[in-house]
A and B are shown apart, each in its own frame.
Chain A
């Protein structure tokens, strides 16, 4: 067995282990299998509260990490994250609209947030075709920056208009990111879209390597770089927008996890993508455990991921031999 296969096995086992531990032991109560068989309350807590929450964390980690790995290849830049095309701010704007104008309707926030996240992608592409500066990729990055800024201004307006006692706290907590209050309905909403996008990226994982080459080289290898990039980016955005609509803004995972995976498995995306899926899921479950269990109250997940993500980022980038 080569070292990469071993590492994959270790990652997969860690994920399974973390998943089980988080369901049975992390939280205000710990349960044994025996208890679950006899105690209906315990079973209820595990099935109705913890299981959907841990599944949501898993899906969130997978989606953000695989989207981050894809975006880094698509933009030929290891320093971009899944939010590069204004998706997070778009999703935030959609969420803010829902909180202010459509209160009470179940899933209204998720729907609007996903739609606006995807709109950010469309807007970025539309604006990039009007920009007359730099190459294709730079134009897309610049357009993404502009779209992000516009939606961010929109979120500011919503905050300003929000009722300070009810709507503003809800919006603020959404923006901090978190999975408290996630129920099965949310899982059923986000799983089909996010899982499809993740699976599609997994299937084309080797092709994603091509995006890191010069566009002219990609053409000379018989592939249309614009189409391949649009496909990869759209799948990444679908994954990101869907999970963001449920979890809010959860930063740094999408940037950090692919980096760690490249340190462990090399740059080849047919390894980086599955590794990002496994490691992203594991780390997000652990971070969500920290968010819900470290204090009697709950720390917003976005704070934990930014803090831990940044520490891991610096740790892994300063470790080992630089290739430059």
Chain B
């Protein structure tokens, strides 16, 4: 059963003359990890922003749980779908706990403050992500990896059934990358639908059940990673010759061919 159904979606930024999304059709299955793979500027972030109703109006239709996105209020959507932006920075020195508690907003009345129960939910999520010890630290003092985990924690505190992560591993070292990818896998294993974007095919092989490869606002290939990601597709999309290595018959690693360096 598909969680999100995107039908012929087109989006153009105001003032711009060209579409950033040029007829995207995609089914995102429930309880699986779907990756959007593509180079910078291929429209991945834009697609996410349409899904969370930041960008309006668009042409085409998006269905979430069978209901047209146009008929779902941002308030109702925020109770079932959470988004982790690529980067966020705050000049205000919130503690990790206070920051993560902001994720309870969709479940609180306009005049209400988080209750003990909300705090409990935040504590549990922080424990789950091994962040309990940083709970009282201030967000601006955290490392890049910790900040990313805190953003993910805030999204999880929303208790969404769908989690959207925009390039969650960008700027992270490989240790932190693996942490984030493991969280993504765990979320799907616990029944949530996870969609994340990346420009690194290796991450897709590691964690995704399905992949949609985007280029120039279109989906050029989709399916299980082992089928959808081929050397030809990647070369076309990234514009450099690549090798997809196979270890034990599984495609696991993508490298740039040495001849793409002019100095060789």
| A residues neighboring B (CB under 8 Å) | 73, 76-78, 203-207, 209-210, 212-214, 216-217, 219-224, 262, 266-268, 270, 323-324
Contacts and interface: CB of A to CB of B under 8 A. Distances in A.
Nearest to A73: B92
Nearest to B98: A268
Contact of B92 (A204, A217, A220, A267): A267
Nearest to B138: A323
B94 interface: yes
Contact of A207 (B95, B110, B141): B110
B82 interface: yes
Given A209-B94, A221-B106, A222-B74, 17 more contacts: A76-B92, A78-B92, A204-B110, A206-B112, A213-B88, A216-B83, A216-B85, A217-B88, A219-B53, A219-B74, A220-B52, A221-B102, A221-B158, A266-B93, A266-B98, A266-B138, A324-B140
A207 B73 CA distance: 19
- Interface magnitude class on chain B: 35 or more
Interface in B187-221: none
B92 A212 contact: yes
B140 A222 contact: no
A223 B74 contact: yes
27 contacts: A76-B90, A76-B91, A76-B92, A206-B113, A206-B114, A207-B110, A210-B102, A212-B90, A212-B91, A213-B88, A213-B90, A216-B54, A217-B85, A220-B78, A221-B106, A222-B74, A222-B77, A222-B78, A223-B75, A266-B93, A266-B138, A267-B92, A267-B138, A268-B94, A270-B113, A323-B138, A324-B140
Nearest to A324: B140
Contact of A214 (B85, B92, B114): B85
Nearest to A216: B54
Contacts of B98: 209, 266-268
B56 to A, nearest CB: 10
Contacts of B85: 214, 216-217
A125 B220 CA distance: 43
B93 A262 contact: yes
Given A78-B92, A222-B106, A266-B98, A323 B78 contact: no
Contacts of B113: 205-206, 270
